[in-house]
A and B are shown apart, each in its own frame.
Chain A
Amino acid sequence: MALPNEKVVISGVGVISCLGVGIEPLWEAMLQGKTGLMRIERFDPSGFSSQVAGVLAEDAFKVRKIVPKSHRKATKVMCRDTELAVGAAAEAVESAGLTTAGTSDDPPTIPPERVGCHIGAGLISAEVNELAAALVTSKKEDGTFDLAHWGGEGMQNLTPLWLLKYLPNMLACHVTIVHDCQGPSNAITCCEAASGLSIAESRRVIQRGDADACLSGGAEDRVNPLALYRQHCTGRLADTNGSGDISAIVQPFSQNATGTIIGEGGGVMIVESTSSCETRGGTPWCSIDGVGCRQSFCDSPLDADPNAIASAINRALEEAQCEPTDIDVIAPLGSGIKQVDNAEREGLTEVFGDALSSISTITTIPYTGNCMAGNGGIKIGVAAKALQEQMLPARLGAETTEGIDAGRCDAMPMKMNKVLILTVGEGGQCVAIVLGRIAS
């Protein structure tokens, strides 16, 4: 089996977050240093110790409006995660200037069988209202749940396609149908590392010749009681009722950090071979120069491993054929989870040494919340935008951070040719990606 090693670029960026649909509203907010976090209004969060999230306004995004008429009925069986993925994919396709079945009836820019789709997803939590409405029909008079009734009659109150809403591959499934992507498709489920791993896999799929372009990234919604509770179980969330300075709740790399905040959102990129992009007259945002993936070796799946992080970065640098000194900006996970932040700092220090404190960083979670599987997609979209604009967005969080330049700052113009993106997932997967500027 011979494998070509063609250069792969990002030719379209689609982001959806609490700050709006598309990269622009998020980017504008990041230039102004304006967080999208707020106290949860989707349900009463007062039973939880962490009551703040990154939530997209109800009226800002209606998935029915962005899918072809033929797929509108199917939106009824989309969970929120899928809606977000479909939204981000639509933005990416438009940004790349692609014609697909999802944009018009015109012939597609790229043959459907040459378009792949890799959408990272999370453990999709069932909507408690939907499931409870069915379960409650099997509640006995004494208040206990009657499994016998559920098996015989109760389950009939659950919509027949209920399960299909919650399979993690449904994000990719709907996106492939909307845009008629018939090439390789996958649903990588590795928490915060899912988007980065998806983009890594899309790149390899293209390099091995199985596709010319892929819709690639991830999305997740953690803003429902069950998903919020599951995050609570990890002990990673910041306790807050939303009072005080909401932009300082998540403090990446601060010794005063108290945890992270959940969010909903994601990012889908058009990952494309250079030749395909050139042939169709596309304009690449940046190149994907190197990728490194490693697994943590820790006592807990909730912990990150500095050695794995450093090894992933070194592999990405090796692939990108560059030295640590070539990296102009770093976009770490920067979640505000102290153990993970410390591991990132330690791993980065192993690679960059004392120079780490003089390399600027981009942190997104203080703006969007931790969108888990969508996190990497958002981060990569922002990094691609920063490379294109040659601008470092403002940072929120703590005033100062030790050993890494991740404290609060205003947006500023900055020359950057290489950006290192780091995503470290619950479960221990680490992905480092080097993006390169493409001179106009």
Chain B
Amino acid sequence: MIRIVVTGMGWVTPLGNDLDTVWKRMCNSDSAIAPIERFDASSFPTKFAGQVRGYDWTQYVKDATIHHSPAMNSQFALGAAKQAWEQAGLGDFAGLNTERAGIYMGAGEGVLDFSAHSMIDTHSWDVEDDMVDPVAWAKFARERLDEWGEVEQEPNMPLWHVAKEYGLRGPAFNCLTACAASTQAIGEATSVLLHGDADVMLTGGAHTMLHALGITGFNRLTALSTFDGDPKKASKPFSKDRGGFVMGEGSGMLVLETLEHALARDATPLAEIIGFGSSADAYRITDLHPEGRGPAAAITNALEQANIDPHGTADGKPLVHYISAHGTSTQENDSIETKAIKLVFGENASNVPVSSIKSMMGHLIAAAGSVELITCIMSIQTGMLVPTINLDNPDPELDLDYVPNVARYAHVDCCVSNSFGFGGQNNTLVVKRFEL
């Protein structure tokens, strides 16, 4: 039987750019949400976000010149990947068969140059025809757009940069299932290993939509919080007065490998991936299925693969010790996710702690799931559950243990991590303490 272990982890997040700093801040219920500085958002309905700060990608690569001006999502991925690669001890490992080392990213598109695009679109607008003059548009595009910046828009560019940095030549994929992407990437990377297509997979996600058009798009969907108080209080998953998600950005990357490969090179497994479940809502483009059908199926499938009975107990406790919720702070998600957890776990549901780190760092979109899986592994390692902050006004309809406001000690052997995407893709991972 092939077993898949995590041997390295790294992240670049609004709360910091290394494992310890971010973990400590989350354990201290700290929030990274602050006014947007990336562009002037003062007139936008949403003026705050979780923004990565104090990060210099060039410190995380061997030679910055080989990377041709990476877009910000690629910059984040390179930093997170470096941490994961080094923690896994692969930086010093000369015996890696690079054709057996692959990469599966759940990365979003690059950052659109809104300033240039808005100029080009408006200057090429033909008032008489009430449409863009494509000839003028092409002329302005050639003058104003950075050609390489447009190439960097492709969502598979973070993959290219990371693979280039580490010489990965094995199976390579990028998926973009919105907010579920990096959980799906990790799950499918697990499948690549289980089928014997690789020995090592570098996997995770990277994304930023923290630009004027990204905020515009989610504002028009009315999905973003427009809270007008202290930004740190804006992301409030499971609260009665939750008003939408808060934009974040960043990357989470993990090294997965077969246990056989890890042991052969004396690597230290940090945790074991034991289950992955994936489903589609197949319901509506804007809404989740009201009964939580898709999320429940993803959780159920993951637990089945992990051979864990959601209704079972050991020493009077459920077999799952923590759920990292998708927990976006939208009315619909938090309600449906709670419903799905209850549907799957039955009477055990109220005894499984559930929290959302989006309350502290915002929603990293495609990168969210990978950062949340790392959170689960940190919980297993440290015996600490990070909280859902801003939970001062609980929704009476949502009655699970959301680890409100304050971190707590707990013995954690087994965690579930949920990610549900706009568009209906649902993905769940199950990770447990590694035991030989």
For chain B, residues 80 to 138, give those with C-beta under 8 angstroms from any C-beta of chain A: 98-99, 102-103, 109, 115, 117-119, 121-125, 130-138
A197 contacts B by Cβ under 8 Å: yes
Interface string of B207-234 (1 = CB under 8 A from A): 0000010001111111000000000000
Which one of A187-195, A255-263, A267-275 contacts B?
A187-195
Q: Which residues of A contact B174 (CB under 8 A)?
A: 188-190, 427, 429
Residue contact B138 to A229, C-beta cutoff 8 Å: yes
Residue A387 at the B interface, CB < 8 A? no
In the complex, what residues of A have CB within 8 A of residue B124's CB?
A: 128, 132
Tell me if B171 and A185 are in contact (CB < 8 A): no
- Whether, in the assembled complex, A135 has its beta carbon less than 8 Å from a beta carbon of chain B, the answer is yes
Q: Is the CB of B279 closer than 8 A to any CB of chain A?
A: yes
Q: Are B39 and A147 in contact (CB under 8 A)?
A: yes
> Is the beta-carbon distance between A429 and B173 smaller than 8 angstroms?
yes
Q: Which of A47, A131, A159, A201 contacts B135 (CB 8 A)?
A: A47
Residue of B whose beta carbon sits closest to that of A314? B99
Q: Which of A413-440 contact B (CB under 8 A)?
A: 425-429
Cβ–Cβ < 8 Å partners of B395 in chain A: none
Contact at A297–B282, with CB atoms within 8 Å? no
Known contacts A185-B177, A201-B173, A294-B99; is-contact A132 B121 (Cβ 8 Å): yes
Q: Which of A52-60, A160-168, A337-345, A350-358 lies at the interface with chain B?
A: A160-168
B179 to chain A, nearest CB (A): 10
C-beta contact mask, B24-62 vs A, less than 8 Å → 1, else 0? Answer: 000000000000000111111100000000000000000
Q: Are A207 and B195 in contact (CB under 8 A)?
A: yes
Counting chain A residues whose Cβ lies within 8 A of the other chain, the interface size class is 35 or more
B283 and A177 within 8 A (CB)? yes
A47 in contact with B139 (CB, 8 Å): yes
**Interchain CA distance A381-B139 in the complex, whole Å:** 38
Q: Which residue of A lies closest to B149 (CB)?
A: A233
Contact A191 B154 (CB under 8 A): yes
B177 adjacent to A128 (CB under 8 Å): no
Q: Choose the segment among A28-36, A38-46, A239-247, A399-407 that binds chain B (4+ C-beta atoms closer than 8 Å).
A: A38-46
Closest 9 CB pairs of A and B: A47-B138, A163-B217, A151-B43, A295-B172, A132-B121, A184-B278, A151-B44, A173-B423, A47-B135
User: B interface vs A, CB < 8 Å?
Assistant: 1-2, 39-45, 66, 68, 98-99, 102-103, 109, 115, 117-119, 121-125, 130-139, 141-142, 145, 147-148, 150-151, 153-157, 159-160, 163-164, 167-178, 184, 188, 191-192, 194-195, 197, 212, 216-222, 274, 278-286, 293-294, 297, 301, 305, 421-425
A-B contact pairs, 15 of them (CB 8 A): A77-B285, A123-B153, A131-B121, A133-B125, A136-B121, A147-B39, A158-B220, A159-B220, A160-B221, A163-B220, A172-B177, A180-B282, A182-B279, A189-B176, A427-B159
